[in-house]
Amino acid sequence: MNKKWMLLCLLVIASPIGALFFGAADLSNTQLIQCITQSCQDPVNNIIFWEIRAPRVFVGFLVGAGLAVAGATLQNITRNGLADPYLFGVVSGAGLGASIATLLFDSKVAEQIGLIQMFPDLSFSLALPVAAFLGALFSVFLVQILVAKTFGSKTEHMLLAGIAVSFMLSALSHFLLFLGEPFAANKVIFWLMGSLARVETWYAWVMLPVVVISVIILLLYGRHMDALLLGDENAKTLGVQVTRLRILSLAICAALTACIVSYCGGIGFVGLMIPHIVRNWLGVTSRIVTIGCVLLGGCFMVWVDVLARVALPNQEIPIGIITSAIGSVFFLLVMSQRRS
């Protein structure tokens, strides 16, 4: 095995284990080891470890892997190294869905339209991710309509359409939050910044099949994706059904990003940074990039979450702020390299 792959595998093993030792609760190394080996005597420590820290690390790994794979796929099908799910309007679409859910579940509005009477068991905690998921899918659909009807299906215009849709949906979200109940609006604003603070174990079981199935499909179509990098005409001469492959890839990106954003909020630039690092470090073929993005993206998000928890005493920084700060610098570096 290549030394680089061995190093990456060691990082994948060490990162989740190391991240378990960081958190708001003051647990000693001995107590943590006892919890890992199921010999913890204190039930409170056991709950902290198995219901808060472990699920958070696991979900964080899936979030990083999913966003990195989605970014790499978008960059392949658009043949644009600056493509990223965050710039594709998906996060803004999810924010619009969350804003609509917030407005509807405001007690006064819900009573006026009879929502509480119609769905008495439907809680805000369930409605928020569902509405965000539908909003994210709507944004991807809207981008495709714009590209097909206005820009003549040119892939290089997808990002421009995504940015336009992103601004439009963000404006609608802000207007709805302005009309909504202030406390609920603040909750959505914090959610839009991206955070793993409210992660629950069942989040992992929702995200895991989406990430695994998406990765398997992309690996199966690895050679087709490589052919797509040569251009549409060259890919067609090699027997690749370009339109069908591009639609499938966009659907995978939408499912990955929407699922993650629905539960963890807007976490940007992971899909931009990780694929670039993987290509420069491991190789450029689609299968290598996909596997590398899963491993490196997961590790990256695990440690970003640790930084979010320990950077400031007695409070937690939203993950989206950290990734955006790192990603903006990375974006400028990529642009400067292209210019030179």
- Given a cut of 60, whether residue 289 has pLDDT beyond it is yes
- Given a cut of 70, whether residue 105 has pLDDT beyond it is no
Q: Which has more pLDDT, 67 or 315?
A: 67
Q: Which has more pLDDT, 321 or 95?
A: 321
User: Residues 110-130: pLDDT tens digits?
Assistant: 555 454 444 444 455 567 777
Q: Mean pLDDT across the stretch 164-174?
A: 87
Please give the DSSP secondary-structure letter assigned to residue 37.
T
| pLDDT of 176 | 81
Distance CA 198, CA 264 (A): 8
Q: Which of 26-30, 240-244, 307-311, 327-331 has the lowest mean pLDDT?
A: 26-30
| pLDDT of 265 | 83
The two three-digit tokens of residue 268, written as one number:
């940007």
Distance CA 260, CA 91 (A): 10
| pLDDT of 119 | 47
Count of beta carbons in the 10 Å neighbourhood of residue 120: 8
Count of alpha carbons within 13 angstroms of residue 277, beta-carbon side: 21
| pLDDT of 339 | 62
Distance CA 289, CA 248 (A): 18
| pLDDT of 1 | 57
Any idea how long the chain is? Answer: 340
| pLDDT of 117 | 46
User: Residues 208-242: pLDDT tens digits?
Assistant: 999 999 999 999 999 999 888 888 888 888 888 88
The burial of 124, by beta-carbon neighbours within 10 Å (0-12 exposed, 13-18 middle, 19 or more buried), is given as middle
Q: Helix/strand/coil (H, E, C) string of 283-297?
A: CCCHHHHHHHHHHHH
User: Residues 299-314: pLDDT tens digits?
Assistant: 999 999 999 988 888 7
Q: Mean pLDDT across the stretch 15-21?
A: 87
| pLDDT of 313 | 80
Contact 64, 298 (CB under 8 A): yes
231: left (phi over 0), alpha (psi -120 to 50) or beta: left
- Given a cut of 80, whether residue 20 has pLDDT beyond it is yes
Highest mean pLDDT among 9-18, 27-36, 83-92, 131-140: 9-18
> Rounded mean pLDDT of the chain?
82
pTM of the predicted protein model: 0.87
User: Residues 187-216: pLDDT tens digits?
Assistant: 777 777 888 888 888 888 889 999 999 999
- Given a cut of 70, whether residue 97 has pLDDT beyond it is yes
Count of beta carbons in the 10 Å neighbourhood of residue 14: 11
Residue written as tokens 């991710």?
129
Contact 196, 181 (CB under 8 A): no
Q: Which residues of 91-119 are buried (b: 16+ CB within 10 A; e: fewer)?
A: bbbbbbbbbbbbbbbbeeebeeeebeeee
| pLDDT of 291 | 95
The burial of 3, by beta-carbon neighbours within 10 Å (0-12 exposed, 13-18 middle, 19 or more buried), is given as exposed
Q: Mean pLDDT across the stretch 78-89?
A: 79
| Cα–Cα separations (whole angstroms), residue 117 to 100, 107, 113, 120 | 18, 12, 9, 6
Residue written as tokens 């005493």?
313
Q: Which of 150-159, 192-201, 253-262, 288-297 has the lowest mean pLDDT?
A: 150-159
Distance CA 63, CA 10 (A): 20
Q: Which of 26-35, 140-149, 267-276 has the lowest mean pLDDT?
A: 26-35
Indicate the fold that domain 3-339 takes in CATH: ABC transporter involved in vitamin B12 uptake, BtuC (1.10.3470)
User: Residues 29-47: pLDDT tens digits?
Assistant: 777 777 777 777 777 777 7
Q: Which residues of 229-253 are buried (b: 16+ CB within 10 A; e: fewer)?
A: eeebeebeeeebebeebbebbbebb
Q: Which has more pLDDT, 15 or 101?
A: 15
Q: Mean pLDDT across the stretch 12-26?
A: 84
